[in-house]
């Protein structure tokens, strides 16, 4: 995989032919929660993948508005499957500024520190609404696409639950202190 968008492009095309614009739109509704992608990566990579023979582009203009949809070639599907089966080190990288703030919350008075936990809870509640909105969208998703959406909802619910529990615990401790 040449770069970070490569598997996203091959993967999304395995679910159906799409334009670069479609890929970006789909990413923004699905993988962006754990794997983002921008136009600046997608368009150059599509052309590179076509040169390499992993995808095939076809002009499909809407009237005189240009449009090019890509489909996976046999070689592209093989490449995708080989990535899915690969054993190497897989990347997990989180940047979570809310956690970072909680980590240093000892520098604040206790009541203000607790607000940070409340804020985290509120933000995940908002994410949960977004995810339910996606879940309610019409159309059947492939099984594992759906599985990952379930994961997102379950994870987000877990986060809000954790915040609630910790707030109770910390506030309880304050009462008995």
Partner DNA sequence: TAGTGCATGTAATGCGTTACATGATTTC
Partner DNA sequence: GAAATCATGTAACGCATTACATGCACTA
Residues that bind DNA (CB under 7 A): 3-5, 19-22, 25, 36-41, 43-44, 46-47, 62-69
State the number of binding residues for its own copies (CB under 8 A).
Answer: 53
174's contact among DNA, its own copies, none, with CB below 5 to 8 A by partner kind, is none
Strand order in the sheet with 18-19: 18-19, 68-72, 55-59
Rounded CA-CA distance 60/156 in Å is 39
Tokens coding 152: 């997102």
Contact 85, 102 (CB under 8 A): no
Residue selected from 65, 74, 93, 138 as contacting its own copies according to rule CB under 8 A: 93
Rounded CA-CA distance 176/59 in Å is 70
- According to CB under 8 A, which residues from 56 to 75 bind its own copies? none
Tokens coding 125: 């509640």
Contact 48, 70 (CB under 8 A): no
Q: Does 167 participate in binding its own copies (rule CB under 8 A)?
A: no
Distance of closest approach, residue 57 Cβ to its own copies, in angstroms? 20
108's contact among its own copies, DNA, none, with CB below 5 to 8 A by partner kind, is its own copies
Q: 65 - beta bridge partners? A: 62
Residues at the site binding its own copies, with contacts judged by CB under 8 A: 4, 7-8, 11, 14-15, 30-31, 33-36, 77, 80-81, 83-85, 90-108, 112-113, 116, 123, 142-145, 147-148, 151, 154-155, 158, 162, 166
């Amino acid at each position: 995989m040449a770069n970070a968008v490569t598997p996203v492009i091959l993967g999304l095309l395995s679910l159906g032919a799409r334009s670069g614009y479609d890929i970006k739109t789909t990413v923004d509704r699905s993988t962006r929660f754990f794997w983002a992608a921008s136009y600046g990566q997608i368009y150059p990579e599509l052309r590179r993948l076509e040169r390499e023979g992993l995808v095939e582009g076809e002009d499909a203009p809407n009237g005189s508005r240009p449009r090019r949809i890509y489909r996976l070639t046999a070689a592209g599907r093989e490449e995708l499957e080989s990535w899915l089966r690969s054993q190497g080190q897989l990347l997990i990288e989180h940047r979570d500024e809310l956690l970072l703030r909680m980590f240093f919350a000892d520098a604040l008075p206790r009541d203000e520190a607790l607000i940070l936990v409340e804020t985290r809870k509120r933000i995940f509640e908002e994410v949960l609404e977004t995810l339910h909105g996606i879940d309610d969208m019409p159309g059947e998703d492939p099984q594992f696409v759906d599985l990952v959406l379930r994961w997102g909802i379950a994870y987000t619910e877990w986060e809000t639950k954790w915040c609630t529990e910790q707030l109770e615990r910390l506030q309880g401790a304050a009462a008995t202190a």
